[in-house]
Structure 1
Amino acid sequence: MKNKIIRFPEKNNIFNPYNGIEDIFDTIMCRADSGLTEEDKIKVSHAKASFQEAFWFSMKVVIPISLVGGSYLLLKWGLKKVNNS
């Protein structure tokens, strides 16, 4: 019997994309499980960890900085428009 991924409704939460990433890598591991050597499995695990680390870095650092910076620029532009009128 082939490996089958069981998906739980709470894991498919659109507001938690981390679970989607985990599902993608789990699917890769399940589909390629029979043809992968132990070394390949370790490489996939490292790739998964690196990708998740980069994803969380962007979620925790890059996106908030972009939101704050964008808000600042919009407020600055809006105040300049108000002062010029």
Structure 2
Amino acid sequence: MSIQHDEKGYVIIGEAALSLALKEQDIEVKSLIRELSRMAESSVSDERIYAIFEARNWLVNVDLTGKDVESVPYIKTLTGLNDE
């Protein structure tokens, strides 16, 4: 199963991003990976753990490709949501 074909992966990454934003932390690939690991530790559903694992692996692969991903401060992210 690929995250690109599974909407749940995007939702889980969104959950991790929201969690970081609420903690007033920067949202970047490395912090998302750490947050997903934390989420997996507190999960009890095998299906959710698998979805988190898939999303985390996808992010690791994105990080390894060398693409520069700009770290966006949490407040900039939150205010940007109002623009839509």
Short-chain TM bin: 0.3 to 0.5
Structure with bigger gyration radius:
1
TM-score normalised to the size of structure 1? 0.36
Between Structure 1 and Structure 2, the one with more helix by share is 1
